[in-house]
Amino acid sequence: GVKAAHHDCLLLTTSNCTIPSRLWLRSMARHFVDKSVEVVIGYGRHCGNDDTPDHGHGSGRRTFDRLRSALLWVGSALVGKPLRGTACNLAYRRSVFFKHKGFSSALHLNYGDDDLFVNEIATAYNCVAEISPDAIVDQHESDMAYSHRAESLRREFTSAMLPRAPFRLMGSVSVALWIWLLASVVSVVYGAPSIVPPIVAVVMFAGMWIPVSLMWRKVCAVLEGGRQGWSALFLWLVQPIRTIGRRWSAWRRRRSNFTWG
């Protein structure tokens, strides 16, 4: 398909995506007016085959995982450190594709070629993230739970081949919450019966979590078209445990990620 293209700017999506806005092409392609831009990273919002947002058992966890992942790679691109992209909404120049020999570095993988390719070609100077409402596509899944688990395990495997600094920065949120929780418990226990330690712990929690919660709700509304509030706090706390479980599952299924497996 890339070889057959007649023009330099390529915009890609996948067969399970629909385009809600008539301005999608314009929103994604307008950045190529700048000759220095070679990569445009878009976003794909997950929904069911009936165009409804993710719902049902486990939908909160799935929404949290998608938002956390989006904050990682979209946020990295917005601050000039592009990490990965998504095949359902991605644009780049045909010339840069051939300059970097396409997906040659990922021919041994069944999945993750887009992540590795974007990480290889994108820099702070040639990459733009586009997350305006007109640029977001809808990615349909018949079984949200199954597709989410499969994608999570694939991304967990691929992430080992990407720079680790952004992942550590994202993980520091969970570490900060656990430090606050343990410090609060210790101070309350050893400070009893004084009411000062509980008051200090509550004030610290409000100062730390309320701004994060408000930001999280806004990001959820923009990217996923819904809202997620206080449940995100619990999910941030248990994220390290869930990550360990996913890494173990991804390692056990590692052979399925290789073309020769």
d(CA 124, CA 117): 15
Task: Specify which of 120-124, 204-208, 218-222 reaches the highest per-range mean pLDDT.
Answer: 120-124
More confident residue, 2 or 60: 2
Q: Residue 99 has what pLDDT? A: 92
Report whether pLDDT(261) > 70. Answer: no
Q: Is domain 9-162 classified as CATH 3.80.10.10?
A: no
Query: Residue 126 is encoded by which pair of tokens?
Result: 């040639």
Residue 36 CA to residue 157 CA, distance in Å, equals: 32
Average pLDDT over residues 45-70: 80
pLDDT at 259 over 70: yes
Percent of the chain whose predicted confidence (pLDDT) is above 70: 95
Residue span(s) of the chain under CATH 3.90.550.10 come to 9-162
- Sequence-distant (6+) residues with CB within 8 A of 80 are 124, 127
The tokens describing 145, both together, are 């739970």
The model carries a pTM of 0.85
Q: How far apart are CA 41 and CA 39, in angstroms?
A: 6
**Tokens matching residue 64:** 């949290």
The predicted-structure confidence for 114-141, as pLDDT tens digits, reads as follows 888 999 999 999 999 999 999 999 998 8
Instruction: Report yes or no: 130 and 27 within 8 Å, Cβ to Cβ.
Output: yes
pLDDT tens string 59-70: 788 888 888 888
> How many C-beta atoms lie closer than 10 Å to residue 170's C-beta?
16
Count the Cβ atoms, other than its own, within 10 Å of residue 21: 14
- With 60 as the cut, is the pLDDT of residue 212 above it? yes
